[in-house]
Amino acid sequence: MSEIDNEINKEESVFVPSLNSTVTNLYDYEQATILVGLQILPVTNQPRQVLITAGIKGELPTVISTSIEEITQSTIIAQALEGV
């Protein structure tokens, strides 16, 4: 792991990464488990929206939004949703 400037709030024992650090500096992605989630929202006046999250345990995930039509272009996801 590379050397990173970090600050520790000793009063609360909370780890606070400095602005110079990044998640890529903290984790070896080849060895980390990456969590991916799909949340399909209810139908509204527009096509169903899907929230996709990706991240590493203990870190805030990246969140993006897309439509159900977009994710069902993936054969494996379309097959998984057929049984629902």
Which pLDDT value is given to residue 5? 38
| pTM as predicted | 0.61
Q: Which of these, 62, 50, 76, lies nearest to 24 by C-alpha position?
A: 62
Please give the structure tokens belonging to residue 61. Answer: 């995930």
Q: Note the pLDDT tens digit of each residue in 28-78.
A: 778 888 899 999 999 988 889 999 999 988 888 999 999 999 999 999 999
- Quote the pLDDT of residue 30: 81
Cβ atoms of residues 62 and 53 within 8 Å: yes
pLDDT score recorded for residue 25? 57
Q: What are residue 51's DSSP bridge partners?
A: 39, 65
